[in-house]
Amino acid sequence: MNIIVAKDYKEMSQAASQMIEEQITKKPDAVLGLATGGTPLGTYKELIRSYKEGRADYRFLSTINLDEYVGLDPEHHQSYRYFMNQNFFQFINIDKKNTYIPYGKTEGLEQECRRYEEVIDTVGPPDLQLLGIGENGHIGFNEPGTSFDSETHIVHLTHSTREANARFFESMEDVPTKAITMGIRSIMKSKKIILLASGERKADAICQLIHGEPDEQFPASSLKNHDDLTLIVDEDAYKKVQRKG
């Protein structure tokens, strides 16, 4: 595991965008695994800037997102499809048909899970997967207790995850109770993984990730079995690790 400790959120975002830019330069038709949440927003901003400065070309690139809420239309302002369009895709020259996100508005959820795993296997697996981390160690929407052998599946969101995401919705009742997420095994298929964490809120999770053993009760710990994992964390998220070490 490589660990990069950045001074703050901005430096963390710059370090991540630089690694992604290098990947695109090396392989213009690369497949990027992308994430939502507040954490990668700064990375997307940096990537948009580098695109505008002519340092990256997305024409041949594909992206595969980790997850999507069940029941939200892609046009819904809190859907992850909308998030990606608004915060990244609309600003770069990517072909929208090469951007993959699970479709959460379907009746055939099981079928959608199988279709998506096939996308991962045929379009992907990603050359580089970007990840955030939940306070309880979730990655994508893989909650504690998820099997390390899981592929794309439906999850019932825990109360804590719904609460953490409630800030984006008008009320707690509006937060979906289910989601489609790439499983742990699906995520592990990626050739390279970058996990980002910023702020004190994530300090316990980062401490557990670095010091703990792989354990299904802490989904992010599965990544310790990956041979190309880079953590990019800021000083606040790294605080507890330093105290212990």
Helix (H) or strand (E) holding 91: none
Would you tell me which residues interact with ligand GLP (CB under 6 A)? 35-39, 66-67, 132-134, 140-141, 161, 165
State the catalytic residue, choosing from 143, 151, 234, 236: 143
Return the number of the residue (39 or 62) whose C-beta is nearest ligand GLP.
39
* Smallest separation, CB 66 to ligand GLP (Å): 6
Annotation says 143 is catalytic:
yes
Q: Within a 10 A sphere around the Cβ of 229, how many other Cβ atoms? A: 21
Give the torsion through C-alpha atoms of 27, 131, 81, 149, to 10 deg.
Answer: 100
Please answer whether residues 16 and 196 qualify as being in contact, where contact means their C-beta atoms are separated by less than 8 angstroms.
yes
Whose Cβ is closer to ligand GLP: residue 57's or residue 160's? 160
Q: Which of 46, 67, 127, 234 is catalytic?
A: 67
Which is closer to ligand GLP, CB of 96 or CB of 201? Answer: 201
Q: What is the DSSP string of 173-219?
A: GGS-SEEEE--HHHHHTSS-EEEEE-SGGGHHHHHHHHHSPPBTTBG
Q: Which of 138, 151, 153, 165 is catalytic?
A: 138
**Is 138 an active-site residue?**
yes
Select which of 68, 127, 136, 165 is catalytic.
Answer: 136
The answer to whether residue 165 is catalytic is no
Rounded to a whole number of angstroms, the minimum distance from the CB of residue 91 to ligand GLP is 20
For residue 168, the minimal CB distance to ligand GLP (Å) is 9
Least distance (Å) between residue 41 CB and ligand GLP: 8
By CB neighbour count within 10 A (0-12 exposed, 13-18 middle, 19+ buried), where does 93 fall? exposed
Q: Is 75 a catalytic residue?
A: no
Select 1 or 55, whichever has its Cβ closest to ligand GLP. Answer: 1
Q: List residues bridging with 142 in a β-sheet.
A: 139
Q: Which residues are catalytic?
A: 67, 136, 138, 143
